[in-house]
Amino acid sequence: YVVLNEGAQATEAEILEHCRARMTFEKSPKVVVFGTEIPVTSTGKYQRLKLRERFADWQHTQFKKS
């Protein structure tokens, strides 16, 4: 999940290239999902469950074999 700073521009390909240059293939993301915000708790921790819920439908449709 990626939230760009205001005025920043980046494509999925650019982000994947950046990650793959700095991480092993196994740890680098296979897909980039752009959003407007990442939900956080009152202590500033990411709410991973809310992210999964927000993109649940998307996850099941992107990689289906035709």
- What domain range is 17 assigned to? 12-61
Identify the CA nearest to 11 among candidates 29, 30, 28, 32.
32
Q: Is the pLDDT of residue 66 over 50?
A: no
Q: Count how many domains the chain has.
A: 1
16 by Cβ neighbours in 10 Å (0-12 / 13-18 / 19+) ranks as middle
pLDDT for position 27: 93
In a domain, 7, yes or no: no
Residue-wise pLDDT for 7-48, tens only, equals 999 999 999 999 999 999 999 998 888 888 888 999 999 998
pLDDT for position 24: 95
- pLDDT: is 38 or 59 the higher one? 38
pLDDT for position 60: 58
Which residues lie closer than 8 Å to 48 by C-beta, 6 or more apart? Answer: none
In a domain, 5, yes or no: no
Q: What is the rounded distance in angstroms from the CA atom of residue 26 to the CA atom of residue 13?
A: 17
Q: What is the CATH number of the domain that holds 37?
A: 3.30.300.30
In a domain, 31, yes or no: yes
Q: What is the rounded distance in angstroms from the CA atom of residue 65 to the CA atom of residue 6?
A: 36
